[in-house]
Structure 1
Amino acid sequence: MTDTTRTAVVTGASSGIGAATARTLAAEGFRVVCAARRAERLESLVAELGDAAVAVACDVTSDEDVARLAEVAGGRVHVLVNNAGGALGLEPVAQGDVALWQQMYDTNVLGTLRVTKALLPALVAADGEGVIVNVGSVAGFTAYEGGGGYTVAKHGVHVMSETLRLELVDQPVRITVVAPGMVQTEEFSLTRFGGDKERADAVYAGVPGPLVAQDVADAIVWMATRPAHVNVDLLVIKPRAQAAAHKVQRLP
Protein backbone atom coordinates (compact mmCIF):
# COMPACT_ATOMS: atom_id res chain seq x y z
CA MET A 1 0.00 0.00 0.00
CA THR A 2 1.31 3.46 -0.92
CA ASP A 3 0.57 6.82 0.66
CA THR A 4 -1.81 7.55 -2.23
CA THR A 5 -3.92 4.44 -1.74
CA ARG A 6 -7.49 5.23 -0.78
CA THR A 7 -9.00 3.11 1.99
CA ALA A 8 -12.64 2.09 2.23
CA VAL A 9 -14.32 0.26 5.09
CA VAL A 10 -17.47 -1.78 4.44
CA THR A 11 -19.45 -3.34 7.28
CA GLY A 12 -21.74 -6.28 6.67
CA ALA A 13 -19.41 -7.27 3.84
CA SER A 14 -19.90 -11.03 3.98
CA SER A 15 -22.84 -11.15 1.57
CA GLY A 16 -25.41 -9.19 -0.41
CA ILE A 17 -25.01 -5.43 -0.78
CA GLY A 18 -21.90 -5.35 1.40
CA ALA A 19 -20.01 -7.95 -0.61
CA ALA A 20 -21.04 -6.34 -3.90
CA THR A 21 -19.91 -2.94 -2.61
CA ALA A 22 -16.55 -4.31 -1.50
CA ARG A 23 -15.98 -5.81 -4.95
CA THR A 24 -16.93 -2.58 -6.69
CA LEU A 25 -14.72 -0.42 -4.48
CA ALA A 26 -11.80 -2.78 -5.05
CA ALA A 27 -12.36 -2.48 -8.80
CA GLU A 28 -12.17 1.32 -8.36
CA GLY A 29 -8.72 0.99 -6.81
CA PHE A 30 -9.54 1.19 -3.12
CA ARG A 31 -7.93 -0.84 -0.37
CA VAL A 32 -11.10 -2.35 1.10
CA VAL A 33 -11.37 -3.34 4.73
CA CYS A 34 -14.17 -5.90 4.75
CA ALA A 35 -15.92 -6.30 8.10
CA ALA A 36 -18.59 -8.79 9.14
CA ARG A 37 -19.34 -11.36 11.83
CA ARG A 38 -18.82 -14.42 9.61
CA ALA A 39 -15.06 -14.73 9.25
CA GLU A 40 -15.17 -17.67 6.84
CA ARG A 41 -17.34 -15.74 4.36
CA LEU A 42 -14.99 -12.77 4.61
CA GLU A 43 -11.91 -14.88 3.97
CA SER A 44 -13.50 -16.17 0.76
CA LEU A 45 -14.26 -12.62 -0.39
CA VAL A 46 -10.78 -11.36 0.43
CA ALA A 47 -9.20 -14.31 -1.38
CA GLU A 48 -11.23 -13.30 -4.43
CA LEU A 49 -10.16 -9.65 -4.20
CA GLY A 50 -6.49 -10.36 -3.47
CA ASP A 51 -4.20 -7.58 -2.29
CA ALA A 52 -7.00 -5.04 -2.63
CA ALA A 53 -8.78 -6.28 0.50
CA VAL A 54 -8.35 -7.27 4.13
CA ALA A 55 -10.84 -9.13 6.33
CA VAL A 56 -11.79 -8.14 9.88
CA ALA A 57 -14.19 -10.31 11.86
CA CYS A 58 -16.39 -7.67 13.45
CA ASP A 59 -19.74 -7.59 15.19
CA VAL A 60 -20.79 -3.94 15.10
CA THR A 61 -22.56 -4.35 18.44
CA SER A 62 -19.20 -5.04 20.12
CA ASP A 63 -17.02 -2.13 21.26
CA GLU A 64 -13.94 -4.38 21.20
CA ASP A 65 -14.59 -5.59 17.65
CA VAL A 66 -15.16 -2.06 16.39
CA ALA A 67 -11.96 -0.83 18.06
CA ARG A 68 -10.05 -3.59 16.27
CA LEU A 69 -11.69 -2.60 12.98
CA ALA A 70 -10.53 1.00 13.42
CA GLU A 71 -7.00 -0.19 14.16
CA VAL A 72 -6.87 -2.27 10.97
CA ALA A 73 -8.39 0.52 8.89
CA GLY A 74 -5.55 2.85 9.86
CA GLY A 75 -5.12 6.58 10.28
CA ARG A 76 -6.80 7.64 7.04
CA VAL A 77 -10.12 6.30 5.78
CA HIS A 78 -11.62 7.79 2.65
CA VAL A 79 -14.92 5.89 2.52
CA LEU A 80 -17.01 4.29 5.26
CA VAL A 81 -20.01 2.24 4.17
CA ASN A 82 -22.20 1.48 7.19
CA ASN A 83 -24.06 -1.47 5.71
CA ALA A 84 -24.41 -3.89 8.64
CA GLY A 85 -28.04 -4.18 9.66
CA GLY A 86 -31.08 -6.11 8.55
CA ALA A 87 -34.70 -6.89 9.35
CA LEU A 88 -36.10 -9.54 11.69
CA GLY A 89 -39.74 -10.60 11.73
CA LEU A 90 -42.88 -9.13 10.21
CA GLU A 91 -45.28 -9.04 13.14
CA PRO A 92 -47.69 -6.19 13.94
CA VAL A 93 -46.52 -3.78 16.62
CA ALA A 94 -49.07 -5.23 19.06
CA GLN A 95 -47.34 -8.61 18.76
CA GLY A 96 -43.84 -7.21 18.42
CA ASP A 97 -40.97 -9.32 19.73
CA VAL A 98 -39.02 -6.99 22.02
CA ALA A 99 -35.83 -9.03 21.64
CA LEU A 100 -35.97 -8.79 17.85
CA TRP A 101 -36.67 -5.06 18.00
CA GLN A 102 -33.69 -4.67 20.32
CA GLN A 103 -31.47 -6.66 17.97
CA MET A 104 -32.50 -4.57 14.96
CA TYR A 105 -31.89 -1.31 16.85
CA ASP A 106 -28.56 -2.51 18.21
CA THR A 107 -27.29 -3.49 14.76
CA ASN A 108 -28.78 -0.87 12.46
CA VAL A 109 -28.58 2.19 14.73
CA LEU A 110 -26.09 1.62 17.54
CA GLY A 111 -23.79 -0.39 15.28
CA THR A 112 -23.69 2.52 12.84
CA LEU A 113 -23.02 4.86 15.76
CA ARG A 114 -20.13 2.75 17.09
CA VAL A 115 -18.39 2.40 13.74
CA THR A 116 -18.88 6.05 12.82
CA LYS A 117 -17.45 7.25 16.15
CA ALA A 118 -14.46 4.93 15.88
CA LEU A 119 -13.56 5.88 12.30
CA LEU A 120 -14.46 9.58 12.28
CA PRO A 121 -10.91 10.78 13.12
CA ALA A 122 -9.54 8.77 10.20
CA LEU A 123 -12.24 10.13 7.89
CA VAL A 124 -11.41 13.70 8.92
CA ALA A 125 -7.74 12.95 8.24
CA ALA A 126 -8.42 11.85 4.64
CA ASP A 127 -7.35 15.09 2.98
CA GLY A 128 -10.90 16.37 2.56
CA GLU A 129 -12.05 13.22 0.78
CA GLY A 130 -13.78 11.46 3.70
CA VAL A 131 -17.32 10.29 3.03
CA ILE A 132 -19.75 8.16 5.02
CA VAL A 133 -22.42 6.24 3.14
CA ASN A 134 -25.08 4.96 5.52
CA VAL A 135 -27.24 2.22 4.05
CA GLY A 136 -30.77 3.14 4.99
CA SER A 137 -33.97 2.03 3.34
CA VAL A 138 -37.27 3.32 1.99
CA ALA A 139 -38.40 2.00 5.39
CA GLY A 140 -36.49 4.96 6.82
CA PHE A 141 -39.24 7.37 5.83
CA THR A 142 -42.27 5.18 5.05
CA ALA A 143 -44.23 3.02 7.47
CA TYR A 144 -45.86 -0.25 6.45
CA GLU A 145 -47.81 -2.92 8.29
CA GLY A 146 -45.60 -5.50 9.91
CA GLY A 147 -42.48 -3.43 9.50
CA GLY A 148 -42.54 -1.60 12.83
CA GLY A 149 -39.22 -2.71 14.29
CA TYR A 150 -37.34 -2.33 11.01
CA THR A 151 -38.89 1.01 10.10
CA VAL A 152 -38.05 2.36 13.56
CA ALA A 153 -34.43 1.28 13.12
CA LYS A 154 -34.05 2.69 9.63
CA HIS A 155 -35.76 5.95 10.60
CA GLY A 156 -33.07 6.12 13.28
CA VAL A 157 -30.29 5.66 10.72
CA HIS A 158 -31.72 8.43 8.53
CA VAL A 159 -32.16 10.91 11.38
CA MET A 160 -28.72 10.13 12.80
CA SER A 161 -27.25 10.87 9.37
CA GLU A 162 -29.08 14.20 9.12
CA THR A 163 -27.95 15.18 12.62
CA LEU A 164 -24.34 14.22 11.92
CA ARG A 165 -24.36 16.29 8.73
CA LEU A 166 -25.42 19.34 10.72
CA GLU A 167 -22.86 18.75 13.45
CA LEU A 168 -19.96 18.18 11.03
CA VAL A 169 -20.71 21.03 8.64
CA ASP A 170 -17.31 22.58 9.40
CA GLN A 171 -15.43 19.28 9.02
CA PRO A 172 -14.12 17.79 5.72
CA VAL A 173 -16.43 14.75 5.85
CA ARG A 174 -19.54 14.15 3.76
CA ILE A 175 -22.55 12.33 5.22
CA THR A 176 -24.75 10.51 2.74
CA VAL A 177 -27.59 7.98 2.81
CA VAL A 178 -28.64 5.45 0.20
CA ALA A 179 -32.21 4.21 0.64
CA PRO A 180 -32.95 1.06 -1.37
CA GLY A 181 -36.40 -0.31 -1.96
CA MET A 182 -36.97 -3.95 -2.89
CA VAL A 183 -33.61 -5.71 -3.29
CA GLN A 184 -33.48 -9.44 -3.90
CA THR A 185 -30.40 -10.84 -2.20
CA GLU A 186 -29.59 -14.33 -1.02
CA GLU A 187 -30.17 -13.56 2.66
CA PHE A 188 -32.20 -10.43 3.53
CA SER A 189 -35.71 -11.92 3.44
CA LEU A 190 -34.48 -15.36 4.47
CA THR A 191 -33.08 -13.80 7.64
CA ARG A 192 -36.24 -11.78 8.20
CA PHE A 193 -38.35 -14.92 8.16
CA GLY A 194 -36.03 -17.01 10.30
CA GLY A 195 -34.84 -19.22 7.44
CA ASP A 196 -38.32 -19.91 5.99
CA LYS A 197 -37.44 -20.02 2.29
CA GLU A 198 -41.04 -20.27 1.11
CA ARG A 199 -42.01 -17.04 2.88
CA ALA A 200 -38.79 -15.35 1.77
CA ASP A 201 -39.33 -16.27 -1.89
CA ALA A 202 -42.94 -15.03 -1.74
CA VAL A 203 -41.68 -11.49 -1.13
CA TYR A 204 -40.35 -11.33 -4.69
CA ALA A 205 -42.87 -13.62 -6.40
CA GLY A 206 -44.11 -12.16 -9.66
CA VAL A 207 -42.14 -8.92 -9.31
CA PRO A 208 -40.59 -8.08 -12.68
CA GLY A 209 -37.00 -7.06 -12.03
CA PRO A 210 -36.41 -6.40 -8.34
CA LEU A 211 -33.11 -4.71 -7.60
CA VAL A 212 -30.07 -6.89 -7.00
CA ALA A 213 -27.13 -6.21 -4.71
CA GLN A 214 -24.96 -4.88 -7.52
CA ASP A 215 -27.51 -2.18 -8.35
CA VAL A 216 -27.19 -0.76 -4.84
CA ALA A 217 -23.42 -1.24 -4.79
CA ASP A 218 -23.13 0.81 -7.99
CA ALA A 219 -25.17 3.60 -6.37
CA ILE A 220 -23.06 3.53 -3.19
CA VAL A 221 -19.76 3.72 -5.07
CA TRP A 222 -21.09 6.49 -7.31
CA MET A 223 -22.03 8.51 -4.22
CA ALA A 224 -18.68 7.83 -2.57
CA THR A 225 -16.64 8.88 -5.60
CA ARG A 226 -18.22 12.26 -6.35
CA PRO A 227 -15.88 15.26 -6.15
CA ALA A 228 -15.07 16.27 -2.59
CA HIS A 229 -17.33 19.35 -2.73
CA VAL A 230 -20.40 17.29 -3.74
CA ASN A 231 -22.62 15.78 -1.01
CA VAL A 232 -25.38 13.41 -2.12
CA ASP A 233 -27.57 13.76 0.97
CA LEU A 234 -30.03 11.02 0.05
CA LEU A 235 -30.32 8.68 -2.91
CA VAL A 236 -33.51 6.60 -3.15
CA ILE A 237 -33.19 3.59 -5.44
CA LYS A 238 -36.10 1.26 -6.22
CA PRO A 239 -37.01 -1.14 -9.00
CA ARG A 240 -39.34 0.30 -11.61
CA ALA A 241 -41.99 -2.16 -10.43
CA GLN A 242 -42.07 -0.62 -6.95
CA ALA A 243 -43.98 2.64 -6.69
CA ALA A 244 -43.87 2.64 -2.88
CA ALA A 245 -42.97 0.32 -0.02
CA HIS A 246 -46.51 -1.11 -0.12
CA LYS A 247 -47.24 -0.72 -3.87
CA VAL A 248 -45.48 -3.28 -6.07
CA GLN A 249 -46.38 -4.61 -9.49
CA ARG A 250 -46.72 -8.40 -9.54
CA LEU A 251 -47.24 -10.42 -12.69
CA PRO A 252 -49.61 -13.39 -12.61
Structure 2
Amino acid sequence: METTTPLAVVTGASSGIGAATARTLAAAGYHVVCAARRAERVEELAREIGGTAVTCDVTDEDQVAALAAQVGARLDVLVNNAGGAFGMTPVAEADSAQWRAMYEVNVIGLMQVTRALLPALLASGAGTILNVGSTAGRIAYEGGAGYTAAKHGTQVVTETLRLELFDQPVRVLEIAPGMVRTEEFSAVRFDGDQAKADAVYAGVPDPLTAEDVADAIGWMVTRPAHVNVDSLVIKPRAQAAQHKVHRV
Protein backbone atom coordinates (compact mmCIF):
# COMPACT_ATOMS: atom_id res chain seq x y z
CA MET A 1 0.00 0.00 0.00
CA GLU A 2 1.66 3.20 -1.17
CA THR A 3 0.99 6.12 1.16
CA THR A 4 3.06 8.82 2.81
CA THR A 5 0.59 8.86 5.70
CA PRO A 6 1.44 6.68 8.72
CA LEU A 7 -0.21 3.30 8.26
CA ALA A 8 -2.02 1.25 10.91
CA VAL A 9 -3.79 -2.11 10.84
CA VAL A 10 -6.56 -2.88 13.33
CA THR A 11 -7.92 -6.42 13.46
CA GLY A 12 -11.41 -7.14 14.74
CA ALA A 13 -12.35 -3.67 13.51
CA SER A 14 -16.00 -4.39 12.73
CA SER A 15 -17.30 -3.41 16.19
CA GLY A 16 -16.47 -2.52 19.77
CA ILE A 17 -12.90 -1.70 20.74
CA GLY A 18 -11.62 -2.41 17.24
CA ALA A 19 -13.96 0.02 15.52
CA ALA A 20 -13.36 2.68 18.18
CA THR A 21 -9.59 2.22 17.82
CA ALA A 22 -9.78 2.58 14.05
CA ARG A 23 -11.63 5.88 14.49
CA THR A 24 -9.14 7.08 17.11
CA LEU A 25 -6.09 6.30 14.97
CA ALA A 26 -7.69 7.88 11.90
CA ALA A 27 -8.30 11.05 13.93
CA ALA A 28 -4.62 10.93 14.97
CA GLY A 29 -3.54 11.03 11.33
CA TYR A 30 -3.14 7.35 10.40
CA HIS A 31 -4.46 5.68 7.31
CA VAL A 32 -6.18 2.70 8.92
CA VAL A 33 -6.58 -0.73 7.39
CA CYS A 34 -9.76 -2.05 9.01
CA ALA A 35 -9.60 -5.85 9.08
CA ALA A 36 -12.43 -8.13 10.22
CA ARG A 37 -14.55 -11.05 9.11
CA ARG A 38 -17.70 -9.00 8.46
CA ALA A 39 -17.07 -7.30 5.14
CA GLU A 40 -20.06 -4.99 5.14
CA ARG A 41 -19.22 -3.56 8.55
CA VAL A 42 -15.56 -2.88 7.87
CA GLU A 43 -16.37 -1.39 4.48
CA GLU A 44 -18.79 1.03 6.13
CA LEU A 45 -16.21 1.93 8.79
CA ALA A 46 -13.47 2.42 6.21
CA ARG A 47 -15.70 4.78 4.23
CA GLU A 48 -16.44 6.74 7.40
CA ILE A 49 -12.78 7.27 8.36
CA GLY A 50 -11.16 7.31 4.92
CA GLY A 51 -9.41 4.00 5.53
CA THR A 52 -9.13 0.67 3.73
CA ALA A 53 -11.35 -2.34 4.42
CA VAL A 54 -9.96 -5.87 4.29
CA THR A 55 -12.10 -8.91 4.98
CA CYS A 56 -9.93 -11.10 7.16
CA ASP A 57 -10.48 -13.94 9.61
CA VAL A 58 -7.28 -13.94 11.65
CA THR A 59 -7.51 -17.70 12.19
CA ASP A 60 -7.27 -18.31 8.42
CA GLU A 61 -3.64 -18.24 7.23
CA ASP A 62 -4.58 -17.54 3.60
CA GLN A 63 -6.69 -14.54 4.56
CA VAL A 64 -3.91 -13.24 6.81
CA ALA A 65 -1.45 -13.61 3.93
CA ALA A 66 -3.83 -11.62 1.73
CA LEU A 67 -4.00 -8.91 4.40
CA ALA A 68 -0.20 -8.71 4.50
CA ALA A 69 -0.06 -8.49 0.71
CA GLN A 70 -2.51 -5.59 0.72
CA VAL A 71 -0.60 -3.75 3.45
CA GLY A 72 2.64 -4.00 1.48
CA ALA A 73 6.23 -3.31 2.45
CA ARG A 74 5.81 -0.83 5.31
CA LEU A 75 3.56 -0.66 8.35
CA ASP A 76 3.77 1.66 11.34
CA VAL A 77 1.23 0.24 13.80
CA LEU A 78 -0.46 -3.13 14.27
CA VAL A 79 -3.30 -3.40 16.78
CA ASN A 80 -4.08 -7.06 17.39
CA ASN A 81 -7.61 -6.59 18.69
CA ALA A 82 -9.45 -9.58 17.23
CA GLY A 83 -10.49 -11.88 20.05
CA GLY A 84 -13.48 -13.13 21.96
CA ALA A 85 -14.96 -15.12 24.80
CA PHE A 86 -17.33 -18.00 24.17
CA GLY A 87 -19.30 -19.54 27.02
CA MET A 88 -18.89 -19.40 30.76
CA THR A 89 -19.18 -22.95 31.99
CA PRO A 90 -17.00 -24.54 34.68
CA VAL A 91 -14.18 -26.80 33.58
CA ALA A 92 -16.23 -29.87 34.51
CA GLU A 93 -18.79 -28.89 31.85
CA ALA A 94 -16.46 -27.24 29.34
CA ASP A 95 -17.19 -27.25 25.64
CA SER A 96 -14.02 -28.31 23.80
CA ALA A 97 -15.04 -26.50 20.62
CA GLN A 98 -15.49 -23.22 22.49
CA TRP A 99 -12.08 -23.57 24.13
CA ARG A 100 -10.42 -24.28 20.78
CA ALA A 101 -12.18 -21.30 19.20
CA MET A 102 -10.97 -18.98 21.97
CA TYR A 103 -7.39 -20.20 21.67
CA GLU A 104 -7.51 -19.94 17.87
CA VAL A 105 -8.58 -16.30 17.81
CA ASN A 106 -6.87 -14.93 20.93
CA VAL A 107 -3.52 -16.69 20.49
CA ILE A 108 -3.06 -18.40 17.12
CA GLY A 109 -4.73 -15.58 15.20
CA LEU A 110 -2.65 -12.97 16.99
CA MET A 111 0.50 -14.94 16.17
CA GLN A 112 -0.41 -15.36 12.50
CA VAL A 113 -1.12 -11.66 11.96
CA THR A 114 2.02 -10.60 13.83
CA ARG A 115 4.19 -13.07 11.93
CA ALA A 116 2.80 -11.95 8.57
CA LEU A 117 3.14 -8.21 9.23
CA LEU A 118 6.38 -8.14 11.22
CA PRO A 119 8.63 -7.58 8.16
CA ALA A 120 6.61 -4.48 7.24
CA LEU A 121 6.70 -3.23 10.84
CA LEU A 122 10.48 -3.63 10.95
CA ALA A 123 10.83 -1.94 7.57
CA SER A 124 9.14 1.19 8.94
CA GLY A 125 12.11 1.73 11.25
CA ALA A 126 9.85 2.40 14.24
CA GLY A 127 7.02 -0.11 14.21
CA THR A 128 4.54 -0.72 17.02
CA ILE A 129 2.67 -3.90 17.91
CA LEU A 130 -0.14 -3.41 20.39
CA ASN A 131 -1.96 -6.50 21.62
CA VAL A 132 -5.37 -6.15 23.23
CA GLY A 133 -5.33 -8.46 26.22
CA SER A 134 -7.59 -8.42 29.26
CA THR A 135 -7.50 -8.40 33.03
CA ALA A 136 -8.67 -12.00 32.45
CA GLY A 137 -5.11 -12.56 31.26
CA ARG A 138 -3.95 -11.93 34.81
CA ILE A 139 -6.68 -13.12 37.19
CA ALA A 140 -8.71 -16.34 37.12
CA TYR A 141 -12.42 -16.48 37.91
CA GLU A 142 -15.02 -19.22 38.08
CA GLY A 143 -16.52 -20.12 34.73
CA GLY A 144 -13.84 -18.27 32.85
CA ALA A 145 -11.09 -20.87 32.53
CA GLY A 146 -11.19 -21.12 28.73
CA TYR A 147 -11.12 -17.36 28.21
CA THR A 148 -8.62 -16.63 30.98
CA ALA A 149 -6.31 -19.34 29.63
CA ALA A 150 -6.50 -17.81 26.16
CA LYS A 151 -5.92 -14.26 27.41
CA HIS A 152 -3.03 -15.43 29.59
CA GLY A 153 -1.71 -16.72 26.26
CA THR A 154 -2.10 -13.27 24.72
CA GLN A 155 -0.10 -11.77 27.58
CA VAL A 156 2.70 -14.34 27.41
CA VAL A 157 3.03 -14.04 23.63
CA THR A 158 3.37 -10.28 24.13
CA GLU A 159 6.07 -10.71 26.77
CA THR A 160 7.93 -13.20 24.58
CA LEU A 161 7.81 -10.91 21.55
CA ARG A 162 9.24 -8.10 23.66
CA LEU A 163 12.20 -10.33 24.56
CA GLU A 164 12.70 -11.62 21.04
CA LEU A 165 12.52 -8.19 19.41
CA PHE A 166 14.44 -6.21 22.05
CA ASP A 167 17.14 -5.17 19.57
CA GLN A 168 14.81 -4.45 16.66
CA PRO A 169 13.12 -1.16 15.71
CA VAL A 170 9.68 -2.22 16.93
CA ARG A 171 7.81 -1.71 20.18
CA VAL A 172 5.60 -4.40 21.74
CA LEU A 173 2.75 -3.16 23.95
CA GLU A 174 -0.27 -4.67 25.67
CA ILE A 175 -3.42 -3.10 27.00
CA ALA A 176 -5.45 -5.15 29.48
CA PRO A 177 -8.99 -3.77 29.87
CA GLY A 178 -11.27 -4.82 32.67
CA MET A 179 -15.04 -4.40 32.51
CA VAL A 180 -15.87 -2.84 29.14
CA ARG A 181 -19.46 -2.63 27.98
CA THR A 182 -19.64 -2.99 24.19
CA GLU A 183 -22.57 -3.89 21.99
CA GLU A 184 -21.44 -7.45 21.36
CA PHE A 185 -18.83 -8.93 23.71
CA SER A 186 -21.10 -10.40 26.40
CA ALA A 187 -23.91 -11.14 23.96
CA VAL A 188 -21.50 -13.29 21.94
CA ARG A 189 -20.18 -14.94 25.08
CA PHE A 190 -23.69 -16.00 26.09
CA ASP A 191 -24.74 -17.01 22.57
CA GLY A 192 -27.16 -14.13 22.14
CA ASP A 193 -28.84 -14.41 25.56
CA GLN A 194 -29.29 -10.70 26.18
CA ALA A 195 -30.55 -11.16 29.74
CA LYS A 196 -27.33 -12.94 30.74
CA ALA A 197 -25.27 -10.35 28.88
CA ASP A 198 -27.03 -7.48 30.64
CA ALA A 199 -26.59 -9.13 34.04
CA VAL A 200 -22.80 -8.80 33.72
CA TYR A 201 -23.11 -5.01 33.93
CA ALA A 202 -26.26 -4.77 36.08
CA GLY A 203 -25.98 -1.92 38.55
CA VAL A 204 -22.39 -1.06 37.59
CA PRO A 205 -22.06 2.71 37.40
CA ASP A 206 -20.12 3.68 34.30
CA PRO A 207 -18.32 0.58 33.02
CA LEU A 208 -15.62 1.37 30.49
CA THR A 209 -16.68 2.03 26.91
CA ALA A 210 -14.92 0.99 23.73
CA GLU A 211 -13.97 4.63 23.27
CA ASP A 212 -12.25 4.71 26.68
CA VAL A 213 -10.02 1.81 25.66
CA ALA A 214 -9.41 3.25 22.19
CA ASP A 215 -8.35 6.55 23.73
CA ALA A 216 -5.76 4.72 25.84
CA ILE A 217 -4.55 2.78 22.80
CA GLY A 218 -4.18 6.02 20.88
CA TRP A 219 -2.02 7.43 23.68
CA MET A 220 0.12 4.29 23.89
CA VAL A 221 0.98 4.06 20.19
CA THR A 222 1.68 7.79 19.82
CA ARG A 223 4.36 7.95 22.53
CA PRO A 224 7.88 8.72 21.23
CA ALA A 225 9.47 5.75 19.48
CA HIS A 226 11.85 5.07 22.38
CA VAL A 227 8.99 4.77 24.90
CA ASN A 228 7.59 1.23 25.29
CA VAL A 229 4.43 1.01 27.39
CA ASP A 230 4.91 -2.65 28.23
CA SER A 231 1.52 -3.11 29.88
CA LEU A 232 -1.41 -0.86 30.69
CA VAL A 233 -4.24 -2.19 32.86
CA ILE A 234 -7.40 -0.11 32.52
CA LYS A 235 -10.58 -0.67 34.54
CA PRO A 236 -13.63 1.36 35.51
CA ARG A 237 -13.46 2.98 38.92
CA ALA A 238 -16.27 0.65 40.05
CA GLN A 239 -14.13 -2.44 39.43
CA ALA A 240 -11.54 -2.92 42.15
CA ALA A 241 -10.84 -6.49 41.02
CA GLN A 242 -12.38 -9.24 38.90
CA HIS A 243 -14.46 -10.36 41.89
CA LYS A 244 -15.04 -6.98 43.55
CA VAL A 245 -17.29 -4.64 41.60
CA HIS A 246 -19.42 -1.84 43.03
CA ARG A 247 -23.06 -2.14 41.99
CA VAL A 248 -25.89 0.23 42.90
TM-score over 0.5 for the pair:
yes
Query: Take 2:234 and 2:4, find their aligned partners in 1: how far apart are those partners?
Result: 32
Query: Take 1:186 and 1:159, find their aligned partners in 2: how far apart are those partners?
Result: 28
- How many percent of aligned residue pairs carry the same amino acid? 69
User: 1:235 maps to what in 2?
Assistant: 232
Query: Take 2:113 and 2:40, find their aligned partners in 1: how far apart are those partners?
Result: 21
Q: Which moved more, 1:40-49 or 1:172-181?
A: 40-49
| Residue from 64, 69, 75 that aligns with 1:77 | 75
Q: Secondary structure at the match of 1:44?
A: helix
For 1:131, give the aligned amino acid: T
Matched residue count: 248
Query: Take 1:48 and 1:3, find their aligned partners in 2: how far apart are those partners?
Result: 19
Q: Report matched runs for 1:109-148 at 5 Å.
A: 109-127=107-125, 129-148=126-145
Deviations 1:102-136 (A, max 9, x none): 00000000000000000000000112x20100000
5+ unaligned residues in a row in structure 1: which ranges? Answer: none
Query: Take 1:4 and 1:68, find their aligned partners in 2: how far apart are those partners?
Result: 22
Query: Take 2:21 and 2:71, find their aligned partners in 1: how far apart are those partners?
Result: 17
| Residue from 192, 204, 229 that aligns with 1:207 | 204
Q: Which moved more, 1:67-76 or 1:15-24?
A: 67-76
For 2:187, give the aligned amino acid: L
User: 1:185 maps to what in 2?
Assistant: 182
Residue 163 in structure 1 maps to residue 121 in structure 2: no
Residue 14 in structure 1 maps to residue 14 in structure 2: yes
Residue 92 in structure 1 maps to residue 87 in structure 2: no
CA offset at residue 3 of structure 1? 5.2
Deviations 1:66-122 (A, max 9, x none): 001111112111100000001000000111100000000000000000000000000
For 1:43, give the aligned amino acid: E
Q: Secondary structure at the match of 1:132?
A: strand
User: 2:27 maps to what in 1?
Assistant: 27
CA offset at residue 5 of structure 1? 1.2
Query: Take 1:247 and 1:115, find their aligned partners in 2: how far apart are those partners?
Result: 35
| Residue from 186, 194, 198 that aligns with 2:195 | 198
Query: Take 1:71 and 1:4, find their aligned partners in 2: how far apart are those partners?
Result: 18
CA offset at residue 4 of structure 1? 3.2
Query: Take 1:231 and 1:245, find their aligned partners in 2: how far apart are those partners?
Result: 26
5+ unaligned residues in a row in structure 2: which ranges? Answer: none
For 1:94, give the aligned amino acid: A
Q: TM-score, normalised by structure 1?
A: 0.97
For 1:20, give the aligned amino acid: A
CA offset at residue 2 of structure 1? 6.8
Could you list the structure 1 runs, at least 4 aligned residues long, displaced by more than 4 angstroms after superposition: none
| Residue from 196, 215, 219 that aligns with 2:216 | 219
